[in-house]
Amino acid sequence: MRKHPFRLWRYRVLIPVPRDAEIISLNEGGTPLIRLKRIEKLVGVKSIYAKFEGANPTGSFKDRGMTVAVTMAKYLGFRNVICASTGNTASSMAAYAARGGLHAIIVLPEGKVARGKIAQSILHGATIIYVKGGFDSALKTVLAAYEAGLAYPLNSINPWRIEGQKTVAYEIVDEIGVPDWIIVPVGNAGNITAIWKGLKELRKFDLIDRLPRLAGVQASGASPLVEAFRENKEELKPVENPETIASAIRIGNPVNWRRALRAVRESNGVLLSVSDEEILAAQRKLARLEGIGVEPASAVTLAGFLRLVEEKIIERDDKVVFILTGHALKDPDIASSHNIRSFSANNRIDALKIIASLEGTSTFTN
Ligand code: AN7
């Protein structure tokens, strides 16, 4: 297969789509793996990398799963695709459906989706249905629509999504070998499930000789998986009204909870939660110490990492990778809410006086 040799589809041999399928792609994947030198120095851990999934075509990791799922939707002859979403799945599906000539129907929790994500869904011409309640209620609508034969669902219950998302693990291993830790934000837990699947496949094919430990991070107002993990339970108690500033992971009843729990336990990993304050502080650190702009849901990785270092679960010599799932511009309201020095000048002289009075750097990191 030479038609899509680059980026995600260079792993086509490990993605089980039929040979004659027309690949619907925006050249997703192949995202930058960025060494976080200033954070390494700050924290005293030897090697820390960020896999910047915000560099995907629609600004989130969802494009990896979507290229495969929309390819299959088209191959199977569906005309309508549907998803419930906290925003990123929706914007990604809208773009890939447009590219494949399919109709995107998006079910969103009203008033709970970040502005950039809604803008993208509108721009790509999706049909949007706003519903009351949170993401979990939107997903029930999608499942009912599927059962009624109205549309093909592209949430992460769809196995093709996982097949695409697992490729992030291949890319990391290709570039730096097997890290000691991979830190992943957790909402519906599709991504952490996919990453583990990718890693286990590499192990099965003897392409790697060990596996990393996974750390899954939830927001403390939406952390049912963390509870199940701590109490060593085999059941999930959904959070009724999940609340966090990280709207992408404001999910109370994660679809893939069972597989995610198994993945974390198998990897000898951990699940932990962090507060909104920690999330915002981490978002600022990534932006102002490293120049990497992520949305709050992605910043949970750094926040969780700092906790794990403090608790000495992650050690100084460890090689750690953060999965930075979405771009800062996805949520412009949160991005613009951070502290900064700003002035209003009445005229140019006034502006120059202000500039002359500035000292040092305007970088706030806390
Ligand atoms: C930036 O778009 O669930 O644990 O509907 O947008 O695989 O759900 C988004 C989730 C992390 C969590 N980071 O991933 C949706 C949606 C960002 C996200 C997650 C999401 P999963």
The residue extents of the domains of the chain are: 8-60+161-335, 62-157
CATH class assigned to 8-60+161-335? alpha beta
Contact in structure between 326 and 53 (CB atoms under 8 Å): yes
At what angle are helices 190-204 and 257-266 packed, to 10 degrees?
A: 50
Is the pLDDT at 127 greater than 90? The verdict is: yes
Q: What is the pLDDT of residue 363?
A: 54
Q: What is the pLDDT of residue 1?
A: 47
Q: What is the pLDDT of residue 6?
A: 79
Residue 106 is classified by DSSP as E
* 138 Cα–ligand 1 center, Å: 14
Tell me phi and psi for residue 116, to 5 degrees. Answer: -60, -35
What's the 3-state SS for 222-286?
CCHHHHHHHCCCCCCCCCCCCCCCCHHHCCCCCCCHHHHHHHHHHCCCEEEEECHHHHHHHHHHH
Contacts of residue 52, defined as CB under 8 A and 6 or more positions apart, other chains included, come to: 31, 32, 33, 34, 292, 294, 324
* 365 Cα–ligand 1 center, Å: 26
The dihedral built from the CA positions of residue 229, 316, 60 and 7, taken in this order, carries a sign that is: negative
- In the block, tokens 């730096």 appear at 176
Average pLDDT over residues 118-141: 96
Contacts of residue 155, defined as CB under 8 A and 6 or more positions apart, other chains included, come to: 83, 84, 85, 89, 139, 142, 161, 188, 255
Residue 191 Cβ inside 6 Å of ligand 1? The answer reads yes
Q: What percent of the chain has pLDDT over 90?
A: 95
What is the pLDDT of the chain when averaged over all its residues? 96
Select from 191, 324, 334 the residue to mutate for testing ligand 1; criterion: most ligand atoms less than 8 Å from CB. 191
CA pair distance 32, 288, nearest whole angstrom: 18
- In the block, tokens 């592209």 appear at 154
Q: Do domains 8-60+161-335 and 62-157 have the same CATH topology?
A: yes
Q: What is the pLDDT of residue 266?
A: 98
* 227 Cα–ligand 1 center, Å: 19
Q: Categorize the per-residue pLDDT at 359 as very low, low, confident or very high, splitting at 50, 70 and 90.
A: confident
* Nearest alpha-carbon partner for 69 in 149, 159, 141: 159
- 294 CA: nearest ligand 1 atom: 1
Structure tokens at 155: 């949430």
Residue 106 Cβ inside 6 Å of ligand 1? The answer reads no
Average pLDDT over residues 109-126: 98
Is the pLDDT at 360 greater than 80? The verdict is: no
Select from 66, 86, 96, 183 the residue to mutate for testing ligand 1; criterion: most ligand atoms less than 8 Å from CB. 86
- In the block, tokens 């291993």 appear at 173
Q: What is the pLDDT of residues 307-351, one digit of tens each?
A: 999 999 999 999 999 999 999 999 999 999 999 999 999 999 999
Residue 297 Cβ inside 6 Å of ligand 1? The answer reads yes
Q: What is the pLDDT of residues 2-49, one digit of tens each?
A: 566 679 999 999 999 999 999 999 999 999 999 999 999 999 999 999
- 60 CA: nearest ligand 1 atom: 1
Rg (CA), the chain: 21
Residue 225 Cβ inside 6 Å of ligand 1? The answer reads no
What helix, strand, coil percent values describe the chain, rounded to 5? 45, 15, 40
* Nearest alpha-carbon partner for 96 in 188, 42, 22: 22
User: In whole angstroms, how far apart are CA 134 and each of 81, 242, 339?
Assistant: 21, 8, 29
Average pLDDT over residues 261-280: 98
Q: Specify the 3-state DSSP secondary structure of 178.
A: coil
Q: What percent of the chain has pLDDT over 70?
A: 97
- 260 CA: nearest ligand 1 atom: 4
**Considering the domain 62-157, what is its CATH architecture?**
3-Layer(aba) Sandwich (3.40)
Average pLDDT over residues 126-152: 95
DSSP element (H, E) containing 305:
helix 296-310
CA pair distance 186, 169, nearest whole angstrom: 16
- 185 CA: nearest ligand 1 atom: 11
CA pair distance 64, 352, nearest whole angstrom: 47
Q: What is the pLDDT of residues 69-81, one digit of tens each?
A: 999 999 999 999 9
* 186 Cα–ligand 1 center, Å: 7
What's the predicted TM-score (pTM) here? 0.96
Q: What is the pLDDT of residues 146-200, one digit of tens each?
A: 999 999 999 989 999 999 999 999 999 999 999 999 999 999 999 999 999 999 9
